[in-house]
Structure 1
Amino acid sequence: MSLFELFLISIGVSMDAFAVAICKGLSLPKMSWKHALVVGLYFGGFQSIMPFLGFLLGSQFKDAIVSFDHWVAFILLGCIGLNMIKESFSHELDDCEDPSLHPGQMLLLALATSIDALALGVTFAFLQVKIVPAVSFIGFTAFFFSVLGVKVGNMFGAKYKSKAEFAGGLILIFMGGEILIDQLFGI
C-alpha cells in the first residue's frame, strides 16, 4: 500500500470522528483549544488502537482466505463507505446535543466512530500492511481532523457534518474498488 493510499484511507476513516468533533465544537460557546485537544486525543487514540486490534484479529485467519482477501477488503471497505454515506443523509444531530467532554461519553463516542477502523485493520492484515506506521499515520490524521472539527464546528455549525461523512464514505469505497481492480487486473 502506497503512502498516498494510506493517506486517503486515513482521511476516510477520520471523517466520522471529524463529524462528531464538529458537533462538539457546536456545543462550545467559545472555542477552547483544550477541549479540541481532548477530543483529538480520544478520537486519534481510538482510530490508532482499533485498526491495530483488527490487524491482530485478521492476522489469525488471513492464511485461510488469502485467495480471496482482495474481495474481503473490497466488501469491508465498501460496506463501511456505504454506511458512512447513508449516515451522511441522516439528519439526526443527537451527538451534538450534549456539550460535555465527560470521559465515559468520550469513550463511547470514540469507540463508535472507530468501529470502521477495526474492520480496516482486518483488511490491513490481508494486504500485509506494515501496521505500526499505518496506525500511527491514521491516529495522527484522526487527531488532526478531530481538532479541526472542533474548530470548524465552533465557527461554522452543523452544515459540514454530513458532507464530511459523505466524502469519507466515497473515499473508502474508491479505495476498496482500487484494491479489487489491482488484485484482479494488476493495474
Structure 2
Amino acid sequence: MSPLALLSLSFAMSTDAFAAAVGKGASLHRPRFSEALRTGVIFGLIESITPIIGWLLGRSASTLVENWDHWIAFAVLTGLGLHMVIEGCKHQETPEAVIQRHSFIRLALTAVGTSIDALAVGVGLAFVEVNILLAAGCIGLATLFMVTTGVMVGRSIGSAFGRRTEVLGGVILVLVGAFILNDHISFV
C-alpha cells in the first residue's frame, strides 16, 4: 500500500469519529484542550485496535464481520445518540446540569461505534500486502488528530447554543450511525 493510499485511508477512517467528537464537544461546558486530547486518545487507541482485530478476523472468517459491521455500528451509535437526546431534553439550564467531562465508558462506547468500519477495513487489509501495525498506527494517529479537533469545534458550537447541544450531539451520533448503515446497504 502506497504512503498516499495509507494516509487517505487513515483520514477516511476518522471522519465519522470527527463528527461524533463535534457532538461530544458541543455537549460539554467549555471543554479544555486537555479534555479534547483525552477524548482523542481514547478514540485513537480504539480506532487503531479495531483494524488489527479485523485483520485477524479476516484471516479466519471475513464474511461474519462484513455481514454485521454496519448493523453493530448503527445500533451502538443510535443507542448512545438517543440517550444523549433524552438527557438533553430533560436537563434544565442549571450549574448542576452542566457536563464538564464525559465518562470513559461513554467515550469508549462511542469510539467503538465509530470504529466498526475500521474493523471491516482490517478484514479487507488481510487480503492485501500491507503492514497492519503501520496501517493501524496511522489510522489511530489520524483519529487522535481529528477527534481532538472535533471536540474543539464542538466547543464553539456548544458556546453558541447552550445545553441544547447535547440534543444536537445525540442527533449527530444517530445520523453518523444512519450514514454508516446506508453506505453499507447501498453497496449490497
- TM-score, scaled relative to structure 1: 0.65
Equivalent residue number for residue 119 of structure 1? 120
Structure 1 contact 51–122 (Cα < 8 Å) conserved = yes
- Structure 2 residue runs without a partner (length 5+): 89-98, 159-164
Query: CA–CA distance in 2 between the matches of 1:11 and 1:93?
Result: 27
Equivalent residue number for residue 129 of structure 1? 130
The range that moved more, 137-146 or 27-36, is 27-36
* Residue type at the aligned position of 2:130: V
Deviation at 1:61, TM superposition (A): 5.5
Identity of aligned residues (%): 35
Deviation at 1:59, TM superposition (A): 2.0
Query: CA–CA distance in 1 between the matches of 2:84 and 2:53?
Result: 26
Equivalent residue number for residue 30 of structure 1? 30
Aligned in 2, Cα 1:133/1:121: closer, same or farther, shift over 3 Å?
same
Matched, 1:53 2:46: no
* Residue type at the aligned position of 1:11: F
- Structure 1 residue runs without a partner (length 5+): 63-71, 178-187
Equivalent residue number for residue 95 of structure 2? none
SS of residue in 2 equivalent to 1:60: coil
Matched, 1:149 2:150: yes
Alignment of 1:172-183 (within 5 A): none
Deviation at 1:143, TM superposition (A): 0.3
Equivalent residue number for residue 108 of structure 1? 109
Deviation at 1:94, TM superposition (A): 5.3
Residue by residue over 1:115-174, the C-alpha shift from the partner in whole angstroms, topping out at 9 and shown as x without a partner, is: 111111001111121111110000000000000000111113579969x96xx97xx99x
Deviation at 1:3, TM superposition (A): 1.5
Query: CA–CA distance in 1 between the matches of 2:151 and 2:108?
Result: 17
SS of residue in 2 equivalent to 1:18: helix
Query: CA–CA distance in 2 between the matches of 1:115 and 1:95?
Result: 20
SS of residue in 2 equivalent to 1:127: coil
SS of residue in 2 equivalent to 1:50: helix
SS of residue in 1 equivalent to 2:130: coil
Query: CA–CA distance in 1 between the matches of 2:116 and 2:22?
Result: 19
Query: CA–CA distance in 1 between the matches of 2:19 and 2:27?
Result: 13
Aligned in 2, Cα 1:120/1:32: closer, same or farther, shift over 3 Å?
same
Deviation at 1:95, TM superposition (A): 4.7
Query: CA–CA distance in 1 between the matches of 2:58 and 2:156?
Result: 40
Query: CA–CA distance in 2 between the matches of 1:7 and 1:95?
Result: 32
Query: CA–CA distance in 2 between the matches of 1:5 and 1:156?
Result: 32
Deviation at 1:60, TM superposition (A): 2.9
- TM-score, scaled relative to structure 2: 0.65
Equivalent residue number for residue 16 of structure 1? 16
